Structure 1
């Protein structure tokens, strides 16, 4: 007890630094963003579904192979979303901005494993993963 009293600043510093180290992993537990490689792991191992929330013209210009297009404005009750709400849903868009908002919206709708793809479709392409264009 004397040690704690005499070294309270060191103890406070240790607790603060530990909290700062744990913060990113705790934040990731509730959703957030995943890398393209983590997205591929979710798709392959956990049967994750890749949803692109771009507008149809953006989607046609280029999107990850296998992605389903559900524009951001029509997410509520979309039929392309999995019926099992515990299925991982990886949300993407052109840059990742809309995807983050869409993933948060899906988590509010009960999709407990909804996450955004970090960097969006650009991040996917930068990871040298396949992209397709539709007519």
Structure 2
């Protein structure tokens, strides 16, 4: 039986990861860079990197193909673009990047620390209306909140 952490480890052997400071450099050097945010809609609405394309992990495969309700044209046409996949912590993004590579995306990497690390690096985030998110608000948003019932020893 594979655990979630096992799946992540397997993907790390196949997917290149970058750090937040690498992403700031890639943004500066490549205006055609696609930042793909694979978090859930509420997470994206709360805060994201300016200019990110939102495709939730749950519809990633359908969003990458024509003729589905979930099809996202910009994403379908991005197979030859440089893509950095982001999520909250870097785990969903590495799973998504691994899937994307299997589906023919040629230049895809995952943001290793996710948006949590992006925020720790004090890079800007905006909300769904395009307004800047205050750093203190982002700090609170990214605090882990695992309840006692979600911990392995709670059973």
Same fold (TM over 0.5): yes
Q: Residue 4 of structure 2 aligns with which residue?
A: none
Secondary structure of the corresponding residue to residue 75 of structure 1: helix
* 1:40 maps to 2:34: no
Structure 1: distance between partners of 2:24 and 2:105? 18
**Higher gyration radius (CA):** 1
Q: Does 1:115 align with 2:109?
A: yes
Runs of 4+ in 1 over 6 A off after TM superposition: none
1:1-135 equivalence runs, <5 A: 31-46=15-30, 47-76=32-61, 77=64, 78-79=71-72, 80-81=74-75, 83-134=77-128
Question: Which structure: greater helix fraction?
Answer: 1
Structure 1: unaligned runs, 5 residues or longer: 1-26
- The DSSP-based 3-state class of the residue aligned with 2:22 is helix
How many angstroms does 1:111 deviate by? 1.0
Distance 1:75 1:43 in 2: 23
Tell whether the 8 Å contact from 1:95 to 1:122 is kept in structure 2 after alignment.
Answer: yes
Unaligned runs of 5+ in 2: 1-11, 65-70, 130-155
Q: Distance in 2 between matches of 1:32 and 1:72?
A: 18
Distance 2:15 2:27 in 1: 16
Cα RMSD (Å) of the superposition?
2.0
